[in-house]
């Protein structure tokens, strides 16, 4: 194994804490996920507990629990505070504001607020910073979503947290999900012969290579199921994230809502993605007992 630097270890710890926040995982699973021995992972958690969050006083510590074979982060107080945005994140905010103003007929007061914020963001960035930002992450997400939709396999270069050696992976993706602000891809790794989770930001040179071969996924389904979902307009980000599966969308400015028609083949997958906007769902047509199924999933996930 290539010896890791202190910076690489810090980066792993800073990814590990949001990953574990509010949930419990087996140490062996975490070690496999972050590709380090269990002993190093335990030491990382101990360092996080003793250090607290960067930039804060020692009274704001991270409550890390290591019990037998399980680990969890129950209360990372300072994670509730909004982090400072880097140039890339600020540009994404800028593009989101421009998209919002361009496609949605907003009330006059909202438009005025959005334009004021847009002006402030443009002043913060300046032209030079905007030219440095790549939209590669967004393009990667689009490619992966289409691969999921079409049941395609794909290859990509993956940079682990430890070391600098890039590995080539061949997978069949099942879903993109978000945990504490981190995008992850759940996929079947053909070399490992099992399900794995990959950080979206560490995936490079993604290439679709044709239909997958996992039993039950290589079979073409002629008629997908459809569901009609009415969401509060705060969930517009969600409609963009799952745009590859949305066949129709309608905005209702007066009721501040958006109605989408979404295709799906697996009910469990639909419940999982709806759980991320559970508080913003106004109604669902096409899935019986939707609210109860989402609640059951949330209880299990927590």
What does the pLDDT look like over 98-116, one tens digit per residue?
Answer: 767 766 667 788 888 888 8
Backbone angles phi, psi at 196, to 5 degrees: -140, 160
User: Are both 119 and 156 inside the same structural domain?
Assistant: no
pLDDT value for 130? 45
The verdict on residue 127 lying in a domain is yes
The reply to whether 109 and 73 lie within a common domain is: no
- Say if CB 272 and CB 239 are below 8 A apart: no
* φ, ψ dihedrals at 205, nearest 5°: 55, 55
User: How far apart are the C-alpha atoms of 203 and 97, rounded to whole Å?
Assistant: 27
Q: What backbone torsions phi and psi does residue 242 show, to the nearest 5 degrees?
A: -110, 30
Q: How far apart are CA 198 and CA 204, in angstroms?
A: 11
Q: Give residue 65's pLDDT.
A: 76
- How far is 63 from 255, CA to CA, in rounded Å? 42
Task: Look at residue 243 and tell me if it is in a domain.
Answer: yes
Same domain, 233 and 258: yes
By C-alpha distance, which of 277, 261, 278, 275 is closest to 227? 261
Per the structure block, which two tokens stand in for 97?
């504001």
Q: Are residues 94 and 118 in the same domain?
A: yes
Instruction: Give tens-digit pLDDT for 204-263.
Output: 889 999 887 764 444 344 467 899 999 988 888 788 777 767 888 888 888 888 899 988
- Beta-carbon neighbour count of residue 176 at 10 Å? 21
Task: Establish if 216 belongs to a structural domain.
Answer: no
Strand order in the sheet with 24-26: 24-26, 70-76, 62-67
Which phi and psi (to 5°) does residue 288 adopt? -70, 140
Task: Determine how many CB atoms are found less than 10 A away from the CB of residue 301.
Answer: 10
CB 154 within 8 A of CB 207: yes
Query: Which segments in the chain show pLDDT lower than 70?
Result: 1-4, 22, 51-62, 68, 74-89, 91, 99, 102-105, 125-138, 160-164, 178-182, 214-223, 244, 300-302
- 218 inside domain: no
Residue 140: CATH number of its domain: 2.30.30
Q: Which domain holds residue 164?
A: 136-211
* pTM for the whole structure: 0.35
Question: What's the CATH code of the domain at 33?
Answer: 1.10.10
pLDDT of residue 51: 67
- pLDDT for position 227: 93
Of 178, 211, 244, the last residue of a domain is 211
What pLDDT is stored for residue 179 in this prediction?
62
Query: What is the structure's pLDDT at 220?
Result: 44
For the chain, the domain total comes to: 4
Report pLDDT for 259.
92
Note whether 205 and 148 are within 8 A (CB): no
Closest listed residue to residue 236, CA positions, set 215, 213, 259, 214: 259
């Amino acid at each position: 194994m290539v010896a890791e630097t202190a910076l690489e270890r810090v980066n792993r710890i800073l990814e590990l804490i949001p990953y574990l926040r509010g949930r419990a995982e087996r140490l062996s699973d975490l070690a496999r996920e972050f590709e380090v021995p269990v002993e190093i992972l335990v030491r990382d958690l101990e360092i996080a507990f003793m250090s607290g969050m960067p930039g804060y006083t020692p009274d704001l510590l991270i409550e890390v629990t290591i019990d037998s074979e399980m680990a969890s982060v129950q209360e990372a107080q300072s994670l509730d505070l909004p982090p400072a945005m880097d140039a890339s994140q600020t540009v994404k905010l800028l593009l989101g504001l421009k998209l919002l103003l361009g496609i949605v007929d907003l009330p006059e007061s909202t438009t005025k607020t959005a334009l004021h914020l847009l002006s402030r963001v443009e002043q913060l960035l300046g032209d030079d910073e905007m030219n440095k930002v790549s939209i590669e992450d967004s393009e990667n997400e689009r490619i992966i979503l289409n691969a999921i939709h079409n049941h395609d396999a794909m290859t990509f270069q993956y940079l682990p947290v430890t070391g600098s050696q890039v590995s080539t992976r061949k997978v069949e993706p099942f879903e993109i999900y978000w945990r504490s602000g981190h995008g992850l891809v759940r996929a079947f790794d053909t070399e490992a012969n099992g399900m794995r989770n990959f950080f979206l930001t560490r995936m490079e040179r993604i290439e679709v290579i044709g239909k997958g071969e996992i039993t039950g996924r290589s079979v073409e389904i002629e008629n997908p199921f459809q569901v009609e979902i009415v969401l509060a307009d705060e969930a517009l980000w969600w409609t963009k994230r799952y745009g590859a599966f949305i066949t129709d969308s309608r905005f209702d400015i007066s009721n501040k809502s958006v109605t989408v028609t979404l295709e799906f083949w697996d009910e469990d997958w639909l419940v999982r993605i709806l759980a991320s906007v559970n508080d913003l769902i106004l109604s669902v047509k096409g899935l019986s007992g939707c609210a109860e199924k989402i609640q059951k999933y949330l209880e299990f996930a927590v």
